Amino acid sequence: MIAALYVETGGCYFGLPDVDPWDEPREAREYAGPHPVVGHPPCQRWGRFWHGSTRKPHQYRLGDDGGCFDRALMQVMLYGGVLEHPADSKAWTTYGLNTPERGAAGWIAADFMGGWTCYVEQGFYGHESRKPTWLYAHGGYNGTIELPQLIWGEGDQRLPAWMIERYGYEKARRIGVVAMIGGKDKTRKRNATPLPFRDLLLSIAATARPHTREPAKVLGISDYCNARSAA
């Protein structure tokens, strides 16, 4: 069984055998094991426009996600699995994680706690845009995880000729393919996880082998780190 956390209600993780989906109404922050996880914590307050609309600067605080990323990172560290966030997410530096180079091939050590991170583009796995992504994988408390070879590197820009002709390359690149063709569904399309990428994340989580699940009372990253130091 894999727990899919912070996922869209009725989305691609629902209706699958051996997958336990936790959406917003179910409150994924309350998940306390025992199964490995695939985490999709919300990213709006960690990205380029974390502050909100450019017309309303400092509308939000950096990382103001209700503690979702903090909890998701702990859940992966404790029970094993993988979480994904957009490339260049400010959550990595906020939590002291090493940042992968854009387009670099392979996994690198993310921290001193046994975590691994990498850069991958969901466009190679069926997304309409390139969707650069960072992954964080961990074997769980004193555990191990298998790190697969992915489709590495950077894909080609997916900008239709009519977009470049109408807006120019730089503006078309900033707007992006999904924003231009998505219509009212552009946010849903941008946030969607392609099925091949979903299956990849589930396969990674399935290899997590935590050696113990004793610290089930752990509530956050600092508590987890203290538990590891005392072990």
183-220: per-residue pLDDT in tens?
A: 555 455 566 789 999 999 999 999 999 876 555 454 46
Residues contacting 97, CB < 8 A, separation 6+? 91, 110, 111, 115, 117, 136
Residue ranges per structural domain of the chain: 2-148+193-225
What pLDDT is recorded for position 218? Answer: 46
Please say if the pLDDT value at position 50 is more than 70. no
The whole-chain average pLDDT of the chain stands at: 83
pLDDT at 213: 53
Burial class (CB in 10 A: 0-12, 13-18, 19+), 230: exposed
Above 50 in pLDDT, residue 75? yes
Q: What predicted TM-score, i.e. pTM, was given to this entire model?
A: 0.81
Q: Which of 74, 223, 30 is nearest to 83 (CA)?
A: 74
Per-residue pLDDT reduced to its tens digit, 139-177: 998 899 999 999 999 876 666 666 666 777 666 665 565
Is residue 62 pLDDT above 80, yes or no?
no
Single-letter amino acid, residue 11: G
The residue that leads in pLDDT, 221 or 228, is 221
